[in-house]
Amino acid sequence: MAVIEATDLRRVYETTTGVFRRRPLEVEAVRGISFEVAEGELFGLLGPNGAGKTTTIKMLITLLLPTSGSARVLGHDVVEDAREVRKKIGYVFGGDRGLYERLSALDNLRYFAELYGVTGRAQKKRIGEVLEIVGLTGREQERVEGYSRGMRQRLHIGRGILHDPPVVFLDEPTLGVDPVGSRELRQTISGLVQAGKTVLLTTHYMFEADTLCDRVAVIARGRIVGHGTPRELKSHVADRTVVEVEAFGVDEETVRRLRGMPGVTSVSIEDRDQAQVLTIQSPRGLALTQELPAWLDGAAVGRIEAREPTLEDAYIALVTESAE
Amino acid sequence: MTTALLVWKMLLFRLKEFAVSAWFLLISVLQPIIFATIAFYMFRTGGKPGTLLYAALGAGMMGIWSSTLFGSGGALQWQRWQGTLELLVASPPPFVIVLLPMALATSITGAYALVSTLVWGRLLFGVPLHLAHPVAFAVAVPVTVLALGLMGLLLASSFVLYRHANALSNLLEYPVWVASGLIFPISLLPGWSHPISWILAPTWGVRAIRAAALGGSPWGPIGWAALLGVVYLALAAVFLRIFEYQARARATLSLT
């Protein structure tokens, strides 16, 4: 039996637009998503900002009602049996918020332990275990306001697993955490799966998904546009060559021009430190590196390098193709 | 029993949270002293014997109400701002059980107001602290504080759904002071306003406390305050179930 089942989940947000003459506006954040997560699996939902990842996870953890479709966690319907679902899941959101800043980590953990029915001696023992798991032993008496972002995030995870839930939802848990902190968090997440928990992780860090997830679903504009193991997704672009170009001063028009270049299947651009990095995909065997400088006329071109496709390339290809 | 223990533990947590909030303590201790000082001067000018303690108790109650109103009104919005509201809503206990200790903590912290007002009145204005019915006074104060906390819970229940509803709390401070007879007797108010006064716990709370301190019959008002508290709790439980469901439908839990 699947531990998490989402069937044709859809969520529409109703809002208004305009200042004086307000008009109703409907935003379809999730447009019929279906997937299943098996027991003990670490399943990743990947997608760009605004793709519908958080909305999906919030429907699964009972914080949002689906507009249509259904979802079950451990056999309990997330709308009809919300309390049963809540007892059996843990969830962690990324970011700074969600903690009582002026109180200590221990106070925070004690409070949520009470809420989740972990009381008395069991509470003291469990809090000790959780602090050990998230690497905060010895720092629990300090006020949370003095914690670094990584420590807060680890405390969030500690809070989420206090009641030893069989299913854990992690919504971008490494958001804004430095590389060392992220690595520690990834180790913590791996530990959860080793302890037999089923984990649903949303992220837009491909390395994280590649390292951690058994299976992933790529979500874009509210729809799943690809799913499978990281290896299966990578095979989606195995017949392609990826060229990375470090450049300066590349404008929208140049990117548009590149997309029209014969043989190019996708172009993405990312700001990295002072430079821009263009990632250009084309069918394997097509030599673009010679021609590219001419197509980047007007921009200062640095390093040009062809490499093997990664999960990130598969992700970019899926997201780009879904937009076309 | 388990629920009562849970409420108790969470109440201690909330009291600790308020105890480290300088702003909240300022509201609870300093503001009532200012009100009390004004009230003492006003009532002293009136020159009636016994009215200084009457004024002190009224000013203390004003402080409890202010603390409850701003605390309960602001508590949910504060939970939203710091990102804990969703965590609380998605925890297993019914939301009324989660919110109840928060509301009670605001009125209990507000009880500092009564203490600080009486101490201030005694030290600076020589207000006599002779209590006509000490036992009734010892019952009336906690019942009143509890009833006010439950009234705060009822108000806060609407703040789950309407995120700007706590702005309402700014409007409700003075009208409740007046309608509850905290400043002057409600008999001075027009007749049509009396039913409004009767459904407000502070009306019965201040009557009970004044009767216990100054002489009179405190047990009736104590009973009414307790009954109103139970009604507020029942209404809040119903409203919170509805409002929580609607907040999940409208996606207002995480909005700030």
In sequence order, the 6+-apart residues with CB closer than 8 A to the CB of A298 are A249, A251, A254
Q: Give residue-wise pLDDT tens across range B113-170.
A: 888 888 888 888 888 788 889 999 999 999 999 999 999 999 888 777 676 766 777 7
Interface test with A, best of B23, B89, B91 (most A CBs within 10 A): B91
Q: Which amino acid is at A182?
A: S
Q: Could you say which of B10, B17, B90 has the minimum Cβ distance to residue A86?
A: B90
CA B127, B129, B131, B134 dihedral sign is positive
The angle at the Cα of B244, spanning A33 to A18, to the nearest 5 degrees, equals: 70
Number of domains chain B is built from: 1
Asked if A147 has any chain B CB less than 8 Å from its own CB, the reply is no
pTM attached to this predicted model: 0.84
Q: Give residue-wise pLDDT tens across range A196-217.
A: 999 999 988 888 888 899 999 9
The answer to whether residue B9 sits within a structural domain is no
What is the bridge-based pairing of β-strands A4-17 and A68-73? antiparallel
- The full length of chain B comes to 256
| Statement: residue B90 has pLDDT above 80 | yes
Per-residue pLDDT, A188:
85
Asked if A275 has any chain B CB less than 8 Å from its own CB, the reply is no
Q: Could you say which of B5, B16, B92 has the minimum Cβ distance to residue A103?
A: B16
Per DSSP, the residues of B179-210 read HTTSSS-GGGS-GGGHHHHHT-HHHHHHHHHH
Using 50, 70 and 90 to split pLDDT, how confident is the model at A180?
confident
| Statement: residue A303 has pLDDT above 60 | yes
Q: Number of CB pairs < 8 Å for A and B?
A: 73
Q: Give residue-wise pLDDT tens across range B175-191.
A: 888 888 888 888 889 99
> b vs e for A155-191, b when ≥16 Cβ sit within 10 Å of the residue's Cβ?
bbbbbbbbbebebbbbbbbbbebeeebbebbbebbee
| Statement: residue B237 has pLDDT above 80 | yes
Contact B71, B105 (CB under 8 A): yes
Using 50, 70 and 90 to split pLDDT, how confident is the model at A140?
very high
| Integer angstrom CA distances of residue A160 from A157, A165, A306, B79 | 5, 8, 42, 18
The answer to whether residue B10 sits within a structural domain is no
- Cα–Cα distance between A298 and A64 in angstroms, integer? 48
The answer to whether residue B128 sits within a structural domain is yes
Per-residue pLDDT, A77:
96
Average pLDDT over residues A301-314: 82
Mean pLDDT of chain B, nearest integer: 85
Q: Could you say which of A14, A87, A111 has the minimum Cβ distance to residue B92?
A: A87
**Nearest-CA distance from A293 to chain B in Å?**
47
Closest CA to A85 of A67, A113, A114, A60: A60
The answer to whether residue B2 sits within a structural domain is no
Cβ separation A64–B251 shorter than 8 A: yes
Q: Could you say which of B5, B82, B249 has the minimum Cβ distance to residue A97?
A: B82
Between positions 83 and 142 of A, the ones with CB within 8 A of B are 83, 86-87, 91, 93, 95-103, 107, 110-112, 114-117, 119
Q: In what order do the strands lie in the sheet with A240-248?
A: A266-272, A275-283, A240-248, A300-307
- Cα–Cα distance between A154 and A137 in angstroms, integer? 11
The answer to whether residue B17 sits within a structural domain is no
Collect all residues of chain B within an 8 Å Cβ-Cβ radius of residue A101: 82
Average pLDDT over residues B83-97: 91
Q: Give residue-wise pLDDT tens across range A33-76.
A: 999 999 999 999 998 888 899 999 999 999 999 999 999 999 99
For B67, the domain range is 24-250
Domains of chain A: 4-230 (3.40.50.300), 239-308 (3.30.70.100)
Q: Which residue of A has its CA nearest to B10?
A: A111
The answer to whether residue B212 sits within a structural domain is yes
The answer to whether residue B14 sits within a structural domain is no
The answer to whether residue B7 sits within a structural domain is no
Contact A173, A204 (CB under 8 A): no
Contact A134, A154 (CB under 8 A): yes
